[in-house]
Structure 1
Amino acid sequence: GSFYYLNTKDASTTDYVSSYTLGEFLYRLHFFAQLPHPFGYYLSGFVAFFFLFALLTGIIVHWDKIISNFYVFRPMTKLKTVWTDAHTALGVIGFPFQFVYAVTGTFFMLKVLLVAPTVLALYDGDDKKLYEDLEYAHPEFEFQNTPLTRPVSINKYVNKVKNQWTNFKVNEVHIFNYGDTGMHVSVSGNLDFKDKINGYGYTIFKVADDSVHSVKDPTKKIQYLDAVKGIFYRLHYGDYGGYGLRIISFILGLIGCFVILSGVLIWLTARNKKNIPLKKRKFNETVVRYYLAICLSLYPITALSFILVQVINPTGMGLLYQFYFIGWLLITIFFVIKKDNYFTNKYTLLSGSLIGLTIPIVNGFYTGNWLWVSYAKDYDQILFIDVFWILISITGLLIFSKMNAQQKKS
């Protein structure tokens, strides 16, 4: 057996490493997959769990004044008050999204630990059987060691399933024992989300006699297991409402970043008092300085990585890993040495925004996919990324100019 990607136009193949992209890198970074397996997954799971804990305790702490403070915003007062008001209001607005994100993230990354007692108690340690019952693993079919004598058309089975249910979108074809009399073909997918948000279904065909082995009908009432798994996936990925929902989710994600960072700054300001020993105040300031440098440096290094993949077009993950992580480290060290949180905030915003504005230009220069070309050719995803960087960069520069104006007044 082997794993490879197949280009269906010219039948060329590539392996995972040589076809590694920035998109794959950022997706994997989302749950720390770059760390040795499974430590990265568990780490991201516990981060999600502690995030959930922080959300719940934050609501409890602010519960008495959560309604009254929600309507209070005093932008003309001192900075700590502005942070506090924005922290409370945006925290309440983003809470449902952050809560769902934390719960589903914990579920995905820590489900192995969560089901461990079940494996030991009910399955005698046989986790393979458990995952089969939970439908996280494909069924197994015995290899007969006898070649098929009839031609096989995978497209025929795909078309059968697509025509079986109205608005059914096939998203996976799994082939078992190709070319053997024990060959089976599983075609699975979802109903259109406009028809049913949790309409997962599949049909498994036995190729030797062209019969149907098993069917999960997406139009029928779903079982509890399918409901939980399906809803968790849909809520976490936000892929059931098109680009509009993804944009809203992105904005709510940014709100979450603001709430976390403002909470850290409020925590530091509240502990920067004369009655607290100088040694402890210095320690608190150092912790926040490192924290802000690490977090805010992600913006410019991510923007730079979009430039890198166009200019150099690296093959494999080696150069991308080195550039991103070493670059992130160097930028972080620079801001840590600078010892100025305001400077860190201001110039990560400026540098990331300026680099971000050049991304559509570099993309157009190296690939020919300028904004108008992508629009004319319906390259929606390329166009979306370019427009996204323009908008986020302009927003960043507007905030930077506002900070400059505020600094001159003071």
Structure 2
Amino acid sequence: MKLNGLGNRAYNILFHTHTVSGIVISVVLYIIFFAGAFTLFKDEFYQWENPSARILVVKTIDYQAVIEKIKGFYPNFEDGKEVRFSPPTDENPLLSIFGTLARPNGKSEFVGFLYNPVSKKIQRNYPYITTTGETLYRLHFLDQLPYAGRWIAGFVALFFLFASVTGVLIHWRNIVTKFYGFSLKGARKQFWTNAHTVFGLIGLPFQLMYAVTGAFYLLTLLILIPAVLVLYGGDQQKLYALIRPNEAIKLHEKLPVTSGNKSINAVLSSIETGYPGYAITFLEIGNLNREDALLSARISDKKSFTGDGMVSIYMKTGKKAVEVIPGHKKYVESVVDGIARVHFAQFGGLLLKGIYFVLALFTCFVIISGVLLWKEARNKKGYTDQQKRFHHRVTMVYLAICLGLFPAVPLLFVSELAIPGQSAGHASQVNAVFFLSWLLFAIVGLFMKTEAKQTHFFLLVGGLLSVLVPITNGIQTNDWLWHPLSEGKQYVLATDLYWLCTGIAALVVYIVIRRNGKTRSLEQTIHETTQVPIG
């Protein structure tokens, strides 16, 4: 079945622009999607990376007592300024606290803490004491590259949108035929063409969504600057008032200290009573113990797409300063919150995250198949041997960087628990192992002569390191596969099972393709030796 496609001139223009834009962004795009796939479950595997979080959730916490406990260890903790809390959840039962420390030079230093509600211990957490989830999260928008990383990721997302649209247009004429005619047999060029088209079509809505939302998050500044200058006369607070109304409320640090404010827990209790069915996911307190003390709470219903909002209450009078609740949001508030929920799969639970994860890996395959298709399309008589060697080298470099990420990620998990201590330097050591191993794997991959040998190498090493993840967890924490479920540590078990299954699958694929390769080589040798010469 053929559909009406583009004219020859339009087709040629879009075909070449699609090819060029795709090959330029392919490596960075692969890194973004591969790291982003694991970032979706950042909260779910937090207990795995931080064994101290493997406790039962404590719902009732005296927040004021926690602040006093912090001030006991750090007298210069500025409780009168902005203090933020991330309450315990099933995924992360620890309480996270963020604030500032006063310094002699008059400036404030950002600081973070973790509070264990069971042991009542306070632990400093900035720089982060564990880093697996944070490393992958930041990698998915290239934050490890100072200054330029986020901009590069933003423009890559923008070009990805362009590549997706042009890809649909150039394949439109035969898209149905290619979809139903997909086969593992046939010429390599035909296989990679059909694979690129079929998997690209399956994940197209997902890819378009991520291209748009990714560009929105990383390139918003380019839109906001002219908007603030033209529409709001350079006053950015007016714009904040539209997007985050609580951020626009001005608090006065010179107001007198008072003992007449309601406690944090009392205000939270009134919010929970007033908004049943919603979970408090984030707290922000400004000017605590002063007359204009303000508590802002983000409320959320994770099962609903529009199920989050914000409530801000003055702690002295109990009067609401801000009330943003589902069904009564402004258009801008709904759009901003909606983009966040779509991008991070914050609705639909684990099932939706699982679908996102699979589609992200599909996108990685589309990227790889596009690179191989680019190479195979140039492996013909119209190109010189020198050009063919150049195309081959480029392909090998691209694949080495992309596929080298597979064994590096399980090694990141292994390093998290294998490297002792949870000090400030722990994260740096784990990150060093991760990035250096990725570099080493890529260099080794470059010495492979063919794409097939590269694939065999990365499947073998990645499979072995993946199996090592649950083994490392068992050795370091004694939470072997048969322990966590009986102790309510389902997220730890799920993480171990994922890596065990991934490792076994990778090793099985490695054995199968190696065996098939040897069989084909033997058949070819027998065929050549049994040929009867003519004449």
Whichever residue aligns with residue 293 of structure 2, its letter is M
2: CA distance, partners of 1:242 / 1:18: 27
Structure 2 counterpart of 1:207: 315
Distance in 1, matches of 2:185 and 2:517, equals 14
Contact map agreement 2:113 2:126 (CA 8 A) in 1: yes
> 1:407–1:310: structure 2 CA closer, same or farther, 3 Å change rule?
same
Letter in 2 for 1:273: K
Structure 2 partner of 1:231: 338
Confirm whether residue 125 of structure 1 aligns to residue 234 of structure 2.
yes
Contact kept? 1:84, 1:266, Cα under 8 Å: yes
Residue 184 of structure 2 aligns to a residue whose secondary structure is: coil
* Partner residue of 1:181 out of 291, 294, 317: 291
1:274 and 2:384 correspond: no
Q: What is the CA–CA distance in structure 1 between the aligned matches of 2:456 and 2:420, rounded to whole Å?
A: 30
Further displaced range: 149-158 or 258-267: 149-158
Aligned to 1:197: 305
1:241 aligns with 2:348: yes
1:294 corresponds in structure 2 to: 401
Deviation per CA, 1:99-155, whole angstroms, max 9, x where unpaired? 111111111111111222212222333444423332287233222431112364212
Query: Does the 8 Å contact 2:141/2:153 carry over to 1?
Result: yes
How far, CA to CA, are the matches of 1:60 and 1:395 in structure 2? 36
Alignment equivalent of 1:170, drawn from 280, 288, 293: 280
User: Secondary structure of the residue that 1:6 maps to in structure 2?
Assistant: strand
Quote the offset at 1:192 in angstroms: 4.5
Residue 473 (structure 2) pairs with residue 366 (structure 1): no
Superposition TM-score, scaled by structure 2 size = 0.72
8 Å Cα contact 1:167/1:192 also seen in 2:
no
- Match in the other structure for 2:489: 379
What is the alpha-carbon distance in structure 2 between the residues aligned to residue 209 and residue 137 of structure 1? 17
Query: 2:313 is paired with a residue of what secondary structure?
Result: strand
CA apart distance, 1:346? 1.5
Q: Offset of 1:184 from its aligned partner?
A: 0.8
Q: Distance in 2 between the 1:342 and 1:189 partners? A: 51
Structure 1 residue runs of 4+, over 4 Å off?
Answer: none
Identity of aligned residues (%): 33
- Retained in 1: the 8 A contact 2:302–2:349? no
User: C-alpha deviations, 1:234-283, integer Å up to 9, x for none?
Assistant: 11111212221111111111110111101110110110112212222222
Contact 1:157 1:187 in 2 (8 A): no
Alignment partner, residue 56 of structure 1:
165
> Which residue matches 1:99?
208
- Note if contact 2:310-2:323 (Cα within 8 Å) is conserved in structure 1: yes
The verdict on how the C-alpha distance between 1:222 and 1:127 changes in structure 2, with shifts beyond 3 A counting, is closer
User: What are the residue-to-residue correspondences of 1:275-354 with 2, within 5 Å?
Assistant: 275-313=382-420, 315-316=423-424, 317-354=427-464
Residue in structure 2 matching 1:391, options 473, 497, 501 = 501
Instruction: Tell me the alpha carbon deviations over residues 207-234 of structure 1, each in whole angstroms, 9 at most, x when there is no partner.
Output: 122332232232x343321221122111
Q: Aligned equivalents of 1:46 and 1:198: distance in 2?
A: 28
Contact 1:144–1:182 (CA<8 Å) still a contact in 2? no
Are 1:159 and 2:269 matched, yes or no? yes
Give ranges in structure 2 of 5+ residues lacking alignment.
Answer: 1-77, 79-99, 101-110, 521-535
Contact 1:353/1:392, CA 8 A, preserved across alignment:
yes
Question: Structure 1 unaligned runs (5+)?
Answer: none
Indicate if the aligned counterparts of 2:251 and 2:292 stay in contact, CA closer than 8 A. Answer: yes
* Residue among 150, 162, 168 paired with 1:41: 150
Larger Rg: 2
Structure 2 letter corresponding to 1:381: Y
**Quick one: which amino acid aligns to residue 252 of structure 2?**
E
- Give the length in aligned residue pairs: 406
* Whole-angstrom distance in 2 between the partners of 1:130 and 1:256: 35
Which of 344, 353, 360 is the aligned partner of 1:253? Answer: 360
Cα distance 1:263–1:233, how it changes in 2: closer, same or farther (>3 A)? same
Amino acid at match of 1:79: R
Which amino acid in 1 is paired with 2:274?
Q
Q: For structure 1, which segment, 341-350 or 205-214, has the greater mean C-alpha deviation from structure 2 after superposition?
A: 205-214
Conserved in 1, the CA contact under 8 Å of 2:200 and 2:366? yes
3-state DSSP class of the match of 1:230? helix
Q: How many Å separate the matches in 1 of 2:254 and 2:360? A: 51
Provide the rounded CA distance (Å) in 2 between the counterparts of 1:171 and 1:395. Answer: 37
Whole-Å Cα distance in 2 between the matches of residues 59 and 402 of structure 1? 34
CA contact (8 A) 1:90 1:255 kept: yes
Which digits, 9 at most, give the CA deviation of each residue in 1:163-208, with x for residues without a partner?
2123111101110011111211111211342xx3212222211112
Name 1:263's counterpart in structure 2: 370
Task: Using the TM superposition, name which of 177-186 and 290-299 deviates more.
Answer: 177-186
- State how far apart, in whole Å, the 2-side matches of 1:76 and 1:69 are: 13
Asked if 2 retains the 8 angstrom alpha-carbon contact of 1:144 and 1:181, the reply is no
Relative distance call for 1:207 and 1:137 in structure 2 (3 A) is closer
Aligned AA for 1:214? V
Distance 1:6-1:309 versus aligned 2 partners, 3 A rule: closer
Aligned counterparts of 1:231 and 1:361: Cα–Cα separation in 2: 40
**1: CA distance, partners of 2:276 / 2:139:** 37
Equivalent-residue separation in structure 1 for 2:370 and 2:290 (angstroms): 61
